């Protein structure tokens, strides 16, 4: 594996076959990962709403929100607000 030589050693080194767009793509991924640091889990919502986390997860599946089977649930604040609204309205 050969790295592209860089004059600044602090910059990330990318394999030569990724080209110059690799820096942009990896920066985008880093921003996305940072945004996902602020997430809510069904377990946290269940404790807040006085429900079981299984009930929350089942409702999320019924809404079609899980795109990857067996993946960990990570909800944005907007998604968590929808869950709260639904379960507070139904109780």
Q: What is the pTM of this model?
A: 0.57
Does any domain span residue 50?
yes
pLDDT tens for 34-89 read 555 678 999 999 999 999 999 999 999 999 887 677 888 889 889 999 999 999 88
Whole-angstrom CA distances from 16 to 6, 21, 23, 29, 39 are 11, 11, 12, 19, 35
* Structural domain for 48, as ranges: 42-90
Does any domain span residue 34?
no
Does any domain span residue 22?
no
- Give the phi and the psi of residue 33 in degrees, each rounded to 5: -65, -40
Place of tokens 């990962």: 33
Does any domain span residue 67?
yes
How far, in Å, CA of 88 to CA of 49, rounded? 8
What domain count does the chain have? 1
Burial bucket for residue 42 (CB in 10 Å: 0-12, 13-18, 19+): buried
Does any domain span residue 55?
yes
Residues 6+ apart with CB under 8 A from 40: 74, 75, 76, 77, 79, 80
Strand partners, 3: 15
Does any domain span residue 5?
no
């Amino acid at each position: 594996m050969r790295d592209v030589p860089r004059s600044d050693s602090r910059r990330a080194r990318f394999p030569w076959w990724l080209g110059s767009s690799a820096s942009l793509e990896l920066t985008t991924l880093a921003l996305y990962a940072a945004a996902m640091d602020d997430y809510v889990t069904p377990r946290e919502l269940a404790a807040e709403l006085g429900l079981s986390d299984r009930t929350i997860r089942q409702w999320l599946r019924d809404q079609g929100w899980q795109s990857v089977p067996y993946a960990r649930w990570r909800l944005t604040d907007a998604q968590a607000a929808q869950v709260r609204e639904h379960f507070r309205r139904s109780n």
